[in-house]
């Protein structure tokens, strides 16, 4: 027998088994939810509580349980779930479910108080379904449909459609089918959103598990203090169920009126302030002549608090909304002007010397060297200006603007309706977080070539 014959054939590696091990820190949020749920259900509400029948906090804990159960399941099978989230099949099924629901409810949509949103959701759902079907035949659309974002959009639309039209759906003969689709949709939506937002789900859960668990326990303790033992004045410190109840009662007004109005007003003010600030900063930082005339005005007028300009804004502008835009834009203008000018002035002189040697003009030096090199400072100014613009938003919406988050919070405070105050503050905090996160994404995209230069 030859030596070659004695060499054993390589063993065929079996398919690796799925490891169900997970970092214990990822389970802490579920444990915190369980503790809070037991405290909510076992301890009776205080006898003097004004809202003994409100159970919204209990529903919130149930929703959080479903969320973290889905997250942990997605973390265990992350590779398979990530692959499934990019499947065109998921895109087709989710958008098809949305289109089917829109067709079934089309006749009754006009009778709903959310008819505008429902018609828009139905149109987008049908469009996504057409794209999904077309992806079977058109190569370019097929590549587009492979992105998990489209499946996430259709899943989200389906869920929002069910939420705002739940009363009409509950009385239809298709209620059971819609309920089953909704449960599947919620789990798929959670998985899709998480896979789009985090790079490694298991690592992210382990990293944030302790913080999330502490936050949930804090809410549980706060609920015990306010609803069970009534240790704080109820008028100023309402129970969590009362705060969540505000969202149920005023969903349309809060999200479709106040939030939308504040978003438009903020975009107008920030947009005008951004353009004016960048132009002023470039002139001050680049030109000695403009620096001589503009820099004193920037340094004298800029530090003045935004609220002090309210009387002048009312006199200068005939419309309250124009005055509100001015107040927001002024605060944004100063922050961006200072940091833009600083960024341009700190560009190394050697860059200009090399470019001038190669024949670059003044404008080429400005647009190809000074402004790109100053972009980190410009974005830093934009970030600081955005934070201050939310403070200015509350002031601006007091100038006769009869809608918006800032106006709603002040109105509820004057009415001593503090559940509405806290509900508005939570929405504004989430709005600010999303707004700033979008800035981070844009900055990372535009400044990928300067990664690591600045830390936010």
Burial (CB < 10 A; 0-12, 13-18, 19+), residue 373, is middle
Number of domains present in the structure of the chain: 2
Residue 184 vs residues 70, 94, 155, 188: alpha-carbon distances, Å: 11, 10, 10, 6
7 φ, ψ (degrees, to nearest 5):
-70, 120
Angle among Cα 27, 70, 24 to the nearest 5 degrees reads 15
315 and 210 share a domain? Answer: no
Same domain, 260 and 219: no
- The answer to whether position 244 is within a domain reads no
For the chain (456 residues), the mean pLDDT of every run of 10, in chain order, is 49 45 82 92 82 81 85 76 66 72 68 68 75 64 58 70 66 69 69 65 81 93 90 89 88 83 89 91 90 86 81 83 88 90 89 85 87 87 86 80 85 90 91 85 77 54
pLDDT at residue 142 in the model:
53
Q: Verify that 305 and 354 share a domain, yes or no.
A: yes
Cα separation, 199 vs 263, in Å, equals 29
Query: What sign results for the dihedral spanned by CA atoms 277, 401, 406, 410?
Result: positive
Q: 235, 261, 295 — which closes off a domain?
A: 235
Structure tokens at 451: 């990664």
Q: What is the pLDDT of residue 33?
A: 93
Domain-terminating residue out of 235, 266, 295: 235
Q: What is the pLDDT of residue 135?
A: 64
Look at residue 63 in the predicted model and tell me its pLDDT: 85
Asked if 304 and 395 sit in the same domain, the reply is yes
Q: Quote the tokens at residue 384.
A: 């600081």
Q: Is residue 9 part of a domain?
A: no
State how far the Cα of 125 lies from the Cα of 102, in Å rounded to an integer.
8
54 occurs within a structural domain: yes
CA distance 294 to 299: 9
- Considering the domain architecture, whether residues 185 and 86 belong to the same structural domain is answered as yes
Residue 83: name the closest of 190, 198, 195 by CA: 195
- The gap from C-alpha 251 to its chain's centroid, in whole angstroms, comes to 17
Does residue 141 lie within any of the structural domains? yes
d(CA 207, CA 344): 38
User: Do residues 226 and 340 share a domain?
Assistant: no
Choose one of 235, 260, 290: the last residue of a domain.
235
**Cα angle vertex 395, ends 314, 437, to 5°?**
130
CA–CA gap between residue 322 and residue 301 (Å, rounded): 20
CATH number at residue 346: 1.10.3720.10
Query: Is 210 within the bounds of a domain?
Result: yes
Judge if 220 and 336 occupy the same domain: no
Evaluate the CA torsion angle 237, 263, 408, 277 in order and state its sign.
Answer: positive
Residues 214 and 288 in one domain: no
Specify the pTM.
Answer: 0.69
- Note whether residue 113 is domain-resident: yes
User: Is residue 325 domain-shared with residue 292, that is, in the same domain?
Assistant: yes
* Statement to judge: residues 94 and 127 lie in one domain: yes
User: Measured between alpha carbons, how far is 405 from 168 in angstroms, rounded to an integer?
Assistant: 29
Helix (H) or strand (E) holding 295: helix 288-301
122 lies in the same domain as 254:
no
Domain that holds residue 191: 24-235
Q: Given this model, what pLDDT does residue 280 score?
A: 93
* Residue in 33, 31, 26 with CA at minimum distance from that of residue 57: 33
- Report CA Rg, the chain: 28
**366 found inside a domain:** yes
pLDDT value of position 112: 67
For residue 248, give every residue at least 6 positions away whose Cβ sits within 8 Å of its Cβ, in sequence order, or none: 56
- Whole-number Å distance between alpha carbons of 126 and 109: 15
Are 293 and 406 in a shared domain?
A: yes
In a domain? residue 13:
no
């Amino acid at each position: 027998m030859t030596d070659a014959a004695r060499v054993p054939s390589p063993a065929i590696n079996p398919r690796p088994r799925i490891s169900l091990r997970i970092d214990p820190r990822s389970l802490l949020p579920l444990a915190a939810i369980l503790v809070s749920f037991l405290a909510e259900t076992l301890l009776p509400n205080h006898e003097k509580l004004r809202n003994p029948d409100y159970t919204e906090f209990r529903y919130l804990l149930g929703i959080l349980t479903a969320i973290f159960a889905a997250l942990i399941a997605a973390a265990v099978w992350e590779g398979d779930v990530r692959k499934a989230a990019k499947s065109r099949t998921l895109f087709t099924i989710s958008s098809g479910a949305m289109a089917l629901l829109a067709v079934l409810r089309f006749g009754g949509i006009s009778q709903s108080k959310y008819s505008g949103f429902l018609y828009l959701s139905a149109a987008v759902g049908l469009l996504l379904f057409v794209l999904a079907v077309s992806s079977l035949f058109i190569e370019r659309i097929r590549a587009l449909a492979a992105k998990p974002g489209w499946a996430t959009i259709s899943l989200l639309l389906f869920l929002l459609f069910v939420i705002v039209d739940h009363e009409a759906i509950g009385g239809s003969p298709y209620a059971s089918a819609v309920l089953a689709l909704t449960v599947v949709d919620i789990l798929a939506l959670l998985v899709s959103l998480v896979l789009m937002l985090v790079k490694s789900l298991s690592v992210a859960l382990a990293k944030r598990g302790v913080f999330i668990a502490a936050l949930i326990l804090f809410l549980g303790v706060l609920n015990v203090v306010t609803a069970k033992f009534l240790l704080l004045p109820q008028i100023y410190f309402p129970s969590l169920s009362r705060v969540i109840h505000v969202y149920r009662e005023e969903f349309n007004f809060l999200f479709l009126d106040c939030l939308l109005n504040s978003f438009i007003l903020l975009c107008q003010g920030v947009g005008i302030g951004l353009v004016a600030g960048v132009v002023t900063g470039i002139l001050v930082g680049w030109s000695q002549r403009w620096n001589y005339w503009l820099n004193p005005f920037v340094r004298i007028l800029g530090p003045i608090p935004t609220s002090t300009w309210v009387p002048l804004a009312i006199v200068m502008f005939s419309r309250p909304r124009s005055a509100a835009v001015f107040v927001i834009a002024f605060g944004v203008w100063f922050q961006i002007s200072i940091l833009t000018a600083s960024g341009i002035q700190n560009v190394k002189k050697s860059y200009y010397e090399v470019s001038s040697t190669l024949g670059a003009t003044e404008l080429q030096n400005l647009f190809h060297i000074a402004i790109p090199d100053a972009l980190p400072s410009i974005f830093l100014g934009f970030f600081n200006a955005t934070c201050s613009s939310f403070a200015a938003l509350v002031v601006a919406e007091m100038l006769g603007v009869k809608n918006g988050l800032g106006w709603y919070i002040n109105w509820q405070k004057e009415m001593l309706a503090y559940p509405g105050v806290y509900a508005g503050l939570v929405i504004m905090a989430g709005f600010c977080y999303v707004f700033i996160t979008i800035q981070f994404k844009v900055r990372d995209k535009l400044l990928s070539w300067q990664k690591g230069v600045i830390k936010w």
